[in-house]
Amino acid sequence: MENIVNREKIEEAKKELREYRENIKYIREKNEDSEELREILASTTTRLSPTKTSNSSMSTDKFSDGLDRLDRIEKDKNEKLVELLTKKWVIDEKIDKMKYPYRDVLFMRYARGKSWREITSTLGYESDKYIFKIHGKALAMYAEL
């Protein structure tokens, strides 16, 4: 019975850490969307002048739509960021309580999105298998926090 409870806790820990990693990716992608739209709008405004606007096929409505879309992306990103930061602080606090190398494996894997090979190399181990063992133990430790 205790084994089942531990397994469930570990699965919850994995889910929490994966969600954390995915939220970080989501925020990065939203930042890229915002920057891309900003660049498009900036280049558009430099091409538009009061005299060109009335003659151009580009309508001010499309420009306004772009600004509205940028505002929506920014608002969505900011809401997600608040949610992510709240979760991040909780998760970081748990990870910070752990000792090396467990702390480092979880941090690199979930906060930084590093591959197993990158983690193995960074920590100076020869085999990914050893990192997998450390990761498994780190998840169990994390689940108990």
In this structure, of 4-8, 55-59, 66-70, 87-91, the range with the lowest mean pLDDT score is 55-59
Q: How does 112-131 read in b/e, with b if 16+ C-beta sit within 10 Å?
A: eebeeeebbeeeeeeeeeeb
Average pLDDT score over residue span 56-77: 71
Residue 46, pLDDT > 60, answer: no
- Does the pTM exceed 0.75? no
Q: Residue 70 and residue 74: Cα distance in Å, rounded?
A: 6
Q: Quick check: 93 and 122 in contact, CB under 8 A?
A: no
What mean pLDDT value characterizes the chain?
82
For 39, the enclosing helix (H) or strand (E) is: helix 2-47
Q: Residue 10 and residue 122: Cα distance in Å, rounded?
A: 25
